[in-house]
Amino acid sequence: MTEDNRMPGGCGTGAGRVDLIDETGIDASLDTSISVLGEATVPSPLQDRSYSCFVSDDDRVLARVSVRNMEDNIARGRRPASFELAGPRRRIYFRPEGLRCAIVTCGGLCPGINDVIRSIVLSLNYGYGVRNIYGIRYGLRGFVPGKGPDPVELTVDSVNGIHEHGGTVLGSSRGPQPVDLIVDRLVGLGVSILFIIGGDGTFRAGARIAEEVRNRGLDIAIVAVPKTIDNDIYLVSKTFGFDTAVEMACQSIRCAHTEAIGAPNCVGLVKVMGRYSGFIAAAATAALREVNFCLIPESDFDMDGPGGFLDALAKRLEERSHAVVVVAEGAGQKYVSGPEQARDPSGNVKLGDIGLFMRDRIKEHFASMNREVFVRYIDPSYIVRSVPANVDDRLYCGNLGQNAVHAAMAGKTAMMVSYWNDRYVHVPLMAAVSRSKRVNLRSRFWMSVLESTGQSSLKAAS
């Protein structure tokens, strides 16, 4: 595919959605085969409801759809990489009668988690007649005796209205837990399907759980739904909650712009989430087009020197008397990271606070020049991730949950449900964690950000 890749959903609805993914590196060598527990021989109860949207495992979605990519594969005599199409199968693996399922949510909060939980419960109930569904409390630690409360029963009534609230009704946690104890608990509960809602670290845990299940010869399906507000999971066009996060970030940027134009030589500075990828910062910048500097982890910048950020900011203030700066939390870490980097329970490096650093550095720089400059600093991070999902994300979450149920009932395992090239697909967990997604600095998406801000490279002249 060309670098101008289309992302369903974008920053809003309708035409003109921006491109947010970089598919470079996807080729015919990518292993997209989906593991199954066994042959699906049970007639799906959905056949009794005049469904006309059944799909088969032979239905595929191309990973890359450009003509050039197709010609390259033909010339090399190989089939292009493709994904298994998601959706209901005519025959399923599990018999719904007496089937027990579990749902667990892991990692940080994100708009839409409750929507996914609700979608899974409703789909299991109304689609397949499955009534026994456990909610595991506080992430994977809820499987370990003594570390979490007992599972809760999830019913149609108990999930009624949960999508109106942010966060997760099941609670969450970070950090690894003993895989053998997790599988022991699944066996003790009689669970045959585990739905995991989480990000990269959760998927790695899910892959290990699936391996332990396979080694024990158990019939337990592990199906994941990708969740990360940063939108950095590989082989997913976008993760749920991203649209909502961008919308909330835009509200903060509008406030920063209002503050900036309300006083002479005023800088509105907004820090948004994005540890290693700057999708939220870049998408919000492209959506509003009121931002003058967008700083993301993928694009290095210098603070000082001719052509550096402070030099460019000074020129902007001379020309327009105000400026709006958006910085992702993982940007400019060379200025705020110490030699000894602490890590959170999930193993992620604890980032230095680039927002506070830039606020103070801007003030110090202009004070040293005897120039009066005001800085209005806004950090909406926890507000962004804790709000309920917007309409676009609710639709997306509903479809992800439904397709996760269809995959699990068909006996698919060690996989995640993804949205790719305008279709819901199945992606192996190991493929999903093989790398992380980053903003492609050569993409049309990033170019649209630069065209909107007018910023230079922000690298000091040597």
Tens of pLDDT, residues 241-265: 999 999 999 999 999 999 999 999 9
> What kind and span of H or E run contains 208?
helix 200-215
CA 185 – CA 182 distance, rounded (Å)? 5
pLDDT at 9: 29
E strand map for 229-388: 266-272, 293-295, 322-328, 374-378
- How confident is the model at residue 322, as a pLDDT? 97
Higher pLDDT, 20 or 367: 367
Region 47-62: what's the mean pLDDT? 88
Residue 2 has pLDDT above 80, yes or no: no
Is the model's pLDDT at 323 over the cut of 60?
yes
Q: List helix spans (H) across 216-278.
A: 242-261
Answer for the pair 328, 273: CB distance below 8 angstroms, yes or no.
yes
Q: Determine the pLDDT at residue 13.
A: 29
CA distance 216 to 113: 31
Predicted local confidence at residue 217, as pLDDT:
97
pLDDT at position 147, please? 87
Per-residue pLDDT, averaged over 92-107, amounts to 97
Instruction: With cut-offs at 50, 70 and 90, classify the pLDDT of residue 4.
Output: very low
Neighbours of 356 (CB within 10 A): 14
CA distance 84 to 302: 44
**Confidence check: pLDDT of 273 > 50:** yes
The residue-averaged pLDDT of 387-408 equals 97
Q: In this predicted structure, what is the pLDDT of residue 120?
A: 98
Q: 199: which residues sit within 8 A by CB, 6+ positions away? A: 106, 107, 108, 226, 227, 228, 233, 239
- pLDDT grade, residue 148 (50/70/90)? confident
What pLDDT score was predicted for residue 11? 32
Which of 271, 104, 241, 226 lies closest to 166, judged by CA?
A: 241
Q: Which of 97-106, 377-386, 409-418 bottoms out in mean pLDDT, i.e. has the lowest? A: 377-386
Query: What domains, with CATH codes, occur in the chain?
Result: 242-386+443-453 (3.40.50.460)
Amino acid identity of residue 455, one-letter, is: Q
pLDDT at 340 over 70: no
| Burial environment of residue 447 by CB neighbours within 10 A (0 to 12, 13 to 18, 19 or more) | middle
pLDDT > 70 in the chain, percent: 89
Position 67 scores a pLDDT of 59
Alpha helices in 92-178 (DSSP H): 113-122, 128
More confidently predicted of 134 and 77 = 134
Q: Please, are residues 349 and 343 in contact by the beta-carbon 8 Å criterion?
A: yes
pLDDT for the residue numbered 410:
98
Whether residue 339 is predicted with pLDDT greater than 70 in this model: the reply is no
Residues 6+ apart with CB under 8 A from 185: 143, 144, 145
DSSP state of 150: P
The confidence score (pLDDT) of residue 300 equals 96
For residue 289, name the pLDDT band (cuts at 50, 70, 90): very high
Report pTM: 0.89
Q: What is the pLDDT of residues 213-240, one digit of tens each?
A: 999 999 999 999 999 999 999 999 999 9
Coil vs helix vs strand at 319: helix
Q: Which residue has the higher pLDDT, 462 or 163?
A: 163
| 288: enclosing H helix or E strand | helix 279-288
Mean of pLDDT values over 58-82: 75
User: Would you please indicate which residues are annotated as catalytic (active-site) residues?
Assistant: 230
Closest CA to 147 of 110, 169, 174: 174
CB atoms within 10 A of CB 110: 31
State the Cα–Cα distance between residues 186 and 222, nearest whole angstrom: 11
**Which H or E run contains 314?**
helix 309-320
pLDDT at 80: 79
Place of tokens 């003058």: 292
